[in-house]
Amino acid sequence: MSPADLSLILNILGVISFSISGVLVAARKKMDYLGVVILGIVSSVGGGVIRDIIMGRIPPTMFTNPLYVAVSFATSNLAFLYLYFNLDGKSRPAINRLFEEVYFWFDTIGLALFTTQGVVAGKALGGASVFLCSFLGVITGVGGGVLRDILADTVPAIFIKHIYALASIIGALVISLLWEVNDTLAMFAGSLLIIQIRYMARKHKWNLPFIKNAPLEH
């Protein structure tokens, strides 16, 4: 399998993962069908749009290659229908546990795959520095989630969640540094490292320091 084919597969899997995370956030916010689908699409392509604008790629890929939007639209619709018809009869605690578990894994997988794709996009420029490639990786990984959370009137996860953006930064750096050794190895190692960091942070409740005694907003 060529690196281009692998990149396409990882990109589609990332779109599916982030679309589902967006649907789950929208469902929690009691959004209607249109809100659910829009949040699913924004979650999955938003990071790529921000990356493309930074790279000077106008119009962004989502407008020139509708494959990713189509995949996100289909995924969001299927997820909406599944939730709409399958949550009746379940207790509220059970639903909360289900949402939390499914959201964590799809959001984490999406973060890992999109961070990887951002670095790949940077490497495709030719001669891009480790800093630029890593920055594009992080922007692609967290950008869609930030837009999703803003639209859902929620503090973006990168500012409050267990080692969220930091996991993306570390993974992007690993991919960028290993790229010259073996691009396929770099993509797999970086993606798996991000997933592992997120899992360990959740399991052990790791968090970055924050100001505990700051005054509350009015």
Residue 29 forms part of a structural domain: yes
Burial-class residue 186 by CB neighbours within 10 Å (0-12, 13-18, 19+): buried
210 falls within a domain:
no
Our count of domains for the chain comes to 1
Give the orientation angle of helix 3-28 with respect to helix 33-55, to 10 degrees.
140
- pLDDT digit string (tens) for 49-61? 999 999 999 999 8
> Looking at the whole model, is its pTM more than 0.85?
yes
Residue 218 lies in a domain: no
67-123 per-position pLDDT tens digit: 999 999 999 999 999 999 988 767 778 888 889 999 999 999 999 999 999 999 999
Instruction: List, for residues 109-153, the tens digit of each pLDDT value.
Output: 999 999 999 999 999 988 889 999 999 999 999 999 999 999 999
Express as a percent the part of the chain with pLDDT over 70. 96
Do the domain assignments include residue 185? Answer: yes
User: What whole-number distance in Å separates Cα of residue 104 and Cα of residue 110?
Assistant: 10
Band of residue 16 on the pLDDT scale cut at 50, 70, 90? very high
Q: And the tokens for 29?
A: 């916010």
| Helices H / strands E in the chain, number of each | 9, 0
Answer yes or no: is 144 within a domain. Answer: yes
Domain that holds residue 172: 3-204
Residue 214 lies in a domain: no
Residue 127 lies in a domain: yes
Residue-wise DSSP of 4-35: HHHHHHHHHHHHHHHHHHHHHHHHHTT--HHH
- Residue that the structure tokens 């050794």 belong to: 181
| Structural domain includes residue 211 | no
For residues 156-173, b (16+ Cβ closer than 10 Å) or e, as one string? bbbeebbbbbbbbbbbbb
Identity of residue 153: D
